[in-house]
Structure 1
Amino acid sequence: MRAVRLATARPGLELRSLLPTDGATYAALMAANTAHLTRHGDYTDIVTASPADHTATLAASDPRHHFGIHEAGHLVGSATLVPRDPPRYGLGYLLAEHACGRGIATLAVHALARHARDNLAATDLFAGVTHGNLPSVALLRRLGFHRVATFPTHDRYHLDLAALPDVTA
């Protein structure tokens, strides 16, 4: 399957399929952001995975589902679609600490949601957010997600992709 590039509403910010050749770069990004990514108890397995582990995971993944978030050509995060029950998909995303607070994740998740709707015939997205991760909750709400369930460690959010709003840079 071919690699995919997704534009965002901000010049210089795009999503690119994460490929096996990105394994070492992705591992380095995770290692450099361990404290940031694990502060709510999430991502412990991903930050400790080796470059070879990431390379193997990317080799087994669909390039239409797993993307690196690139700002000015540099990998600053990832965004993933999880096809658990197509046309309904799960959503995951993460950013390096230095990339937070500038709208990057909002624009990236919006581009991924458009891609899911327009190219994969997705109808719904679901995302889980660990309790206490208020920036992630705010991002999902900006994009029209609504909380639909509460669990001991996290809340589940849902977006009907027919209601995906437009966003600007």
Structure 2
Amino acid sequence: MPTLEPLRPDHADALLAFERANRGYFARSIPDRGDAYFAGFADRHAALLAEQAEGTCRFHVVRDPAGELVGRVNLVDLADGSAELGYRVAESAAGRGIATAAVTEACRLAATAYGLTALTAVTTVDNPASRAVLARNGFRLDREFLLGDRPALAYRRSLADLTD
């Protein structure tokens, strides 16, 4: 199964390649990051590492059993025992259970290593794969809203069962 690694400076090149290779795939289900994201990637990567060092966010890359970077899982805006979960998996890794396993591990880390008690997550209505990953990991629908011009869903998960 996949492994999560905390984001490090030496992940920059592989992470940029991952984002570029999957840009079109991701844009089919979530808003595109835009050209500026790619043009300023080195500065953005450094900023993420600084946020992680401050403890306000926890960023991870996902590696498949062969060691290839196939995804990322982020916990952002850590405050008051909660954070927002975000994740993306490469098109080449989709449908293999990698997202489900990576989110499972992120939930475990959130509860045990980061001391969080709850997570929230957002996905668009037209992304059934992401909705299934969240459901398999115990997230419950919290509300519906618009993400830009797209119908979206917000989910919540208590982590109490992971600290028993």
Q: TM-score range by the shorter chain?
A: 0.7 to 0.9
* Unaligned 5+ runs, structure 2: none
Q: 1:70 aligned to 2:87?
A: no
Deviation at 1:152, TM superposition (A): 1.9
Structure 2 partner of 1:155: 153
* In 1, Cα distance between equivalents of 2:101 and 2:35: 23
Q: 1:126 aligned to 2:116?
A: no
Give the root-mean-square deviation of aligned CA atoms. Answer: 2.0
Going from structure 1 to structure 2, the CA distance change for 1:96 and 1:78 (only over 3 Å counts) comes to same
* In 1, Cα distance between equivalents of 2:99 and 2:84: 16
Are the counterparts in 2 of residues 68 and 78 from structure 1 also a CA contact under 8 Å?
yes
* In 2, Cα distance between equivalents of 1:93 and 1:156: 14
Question: Which digits, 9 at most, give the CA deviation of each residue in 1:97-138, with x for residues without a partner?
Answer: 001101001000110110010111111000011120110001
* Unaligned 5+ runs, structure 1: 1-9, 165-169
Are the counterparts in 2 of residues 27 and 54 from structure 1 also a CA contact under 8 Å?
no
* In 2, Cα distance between equivalents of 1:110 and 1:47: 32
Deviation at 1:46, TM superposition (A): 8.2
Deviation at 1:47, TM superposition (A): 8.6
SS of match in other structure, 2:52 = coil
- Tell me whether 128-137 or 78-87 shows the greater mean CA deviation: 78-87
Deviation at 1:23, TM superposition (A): 1.3
SS of match in other structure, 1:107 = helix
* In 1, Cα distance between equivalents of 2:52 and 2:133: 25
Going from structure 1 to structure 2, the CA distance change for 1:125 and 1:46 (only over 3 Å counts) comes to farther
Q: 1:104 aligned to 2:98?
A: yes
SS of match in other structure, 1:49 = helix
Structure 2 partner of 1:4: none
Are the counterparts in 1 of residues 37 and 44 from structure 2 also a CA contact under 8 Å?
no
Q: Name which of 91, 94, 99 aligns with 2:85.
A: 91
Structure 1 partner of 2:51: 61
